[in-house]
Amino acid sequence: MVKLDLKAELKEFYHATAKKTVLVDVPEMNFLMVDGTGDPNTSTRFQEATEALYNLSYALKFMVKKGRTGVDYKVMPLEGLWWTDNPAEFSLEGKDRWHWTLMIMQPDLVTPLLFEEAFLQVKEKKGQSILPEIRLASYNEGLAVQTMHIGPYSEEDTAIARIHSFMEVKGYLPAGKHHEIYLSNPQKTSPQRLKTIIRQPVKRV
């Protein structure tokens, strides 16, 4: 059995520290993705999307493990892209206006055919209505600034401010959707210990 450590292979993009803000060049990767709108704290769709993404990701993991490749790997963390129609309205106080794409990174071993098989398996077992909206797609983020936020999601302002300060000093402008990578399970971790990578795609001024 081959053990694939995706986090270690992609350490630059899935490990960070609150002590540093850094520039990274994120390669194209494949994700399970689904879209939605509204406050994640009150949105039923957000919770359904999270559950469905994990159900599919674990189904795919076990299919790969039992397949001819014999490769095992840990399911990657949940990630979110966040934006508003008017960028000036993007703030923690206006979550009801947020648009989001939730996603979980998948190894190259996950093919479109395997995705279809996993979809049918999860649909039969779980019957989640949001499943048909989930897609397997590539995402090429490219150049971005990132740092770590430790604490409640509602207190990310400080980390975001560090990112924008770094951008201003280094001569970058925002060039994509606000990106968060949730390294902690909020159901098992106290709010003060939650670890979230905050990332902002950028371009040169």
| Three-state DSSP state, 112 | helix
Give yes or no for residue 155 having a pLDDT over 70: yes
Alpha helices in 21-135 (DSSP H): 44-66, 112-126
Position 24 scores a pLDDT of 98
Average pLDDT over residues 121-140: 93
- Return the structure tokens found at 43: 């949105």
pTM of the model: 0.94
Position 118 scores a pLDDT of 95
